[in-house]
Each structure stands twice: as structure tokens, then as C-alpha cells.
Copies of this chain bind each other. A is one copy, B any other.
Amino acid sequence: MLDLDEIDLKILNELQEDARISHQVLSERVGLSPSPCSRRIRILESKGIITGYSAHIDERKLGFAMNIFVSVKLAHQVDTGLVSFERAIRLCPEVVDCWLMTGNRDYLLRVSVRDLDEFEHFLTARLTRIDGVSSIESSIPIRRVKGGMSRLT
């Protein structure tokens, strides 16, 4: 079903580092000519191994200088909690990352804000108003050491 060889992994690696590289340059780097190269790309896309392409945007340059991790626990009695909580979270522009954790109704969020004032507003005007939210814990990172790329090897 998958059958990825070394060349496919090289292609994935190159496209992960620069999605707008031309097929010509890409084909030279992976040691192929352009045609089979673009064929392989289309196969990788159709198999769902490549799921899309996106521009990387420097959030700090747009004014979102702060990241904050927030652990959220939902109240035990709320039965439709997960679905409605997740729907609410997806509508928050501040939340850039959200994981459902093992353990009961535990979420880990990463929120992106301009400053602490905006974070306080996010907490009071949004997060605490979502139905079923019972406890919140925040921690503040200083900087990102590594990130943004998928594991390939």
C-alpha cells in the first residue's frame, strides 16, 4: 500500500523544507528527472501522505508575540462536553493548537496572544465561559527550541 523508497523520503524531506521548489530543482536533488519526480509527488498526494502545502507565517511579526500553554479540565458531569468544547475551541483564533489528552476530559491548548492583557481577556471572556470548563492551568514558554516539521525517519 505504501511502498516508499529512499527517493520518496528524499522528496518528502525536500518538500517539507520548501514546498515551492520547482520539480526541476527537486528532481536534481533527489537524483531523478522531472517527470517521474512529479509522478511520485502526485502519488504521494493521492495516497494521503502529503496532505497539503502551507506558508509559514511569523506570528510575532503580526503582533502575536506570546505563546501560552493552557491545561483545561472539563467537569465530570457534562456529557456532551467534548463535542461542544471542541467546537468552541475551534472558533477561538487565539488557540493555535489543541490536544485531547488521556485522563478524563483533559485538554492541552497552546494559545497565541499579543500580551498578557489579551491573554486575560481570552481567559475571562472566552475560555471560562465555555460550558463545562472546570479547571485551568497556564504555563508560559520562553522560546521554541525546535518544531514545525513532521518526523520522516
User: B51 touching A142 by the CB < 8 A rule?
Assistant: no
A4 to B19, CA, bound (A): 24
A62 to B16, CA, bound (A): 14
Q: A19-B19, A86-B145, A142-B101 are in contact. Are A151 and B93 (CB under 8 A)?
A: yes
A142 to B55, CA, bound (A): 27
A103 to B47, CA, bound (A): 43
Number of copies: 2
In the complex, which residue of chain B has the Cβ closest to the Cβ of A18? B53
A119 to chain B, nearest CB (A): 13
A54 within 8 Å of B (CB atoms): yes
A135 to chain B, nearest CB (A): 16
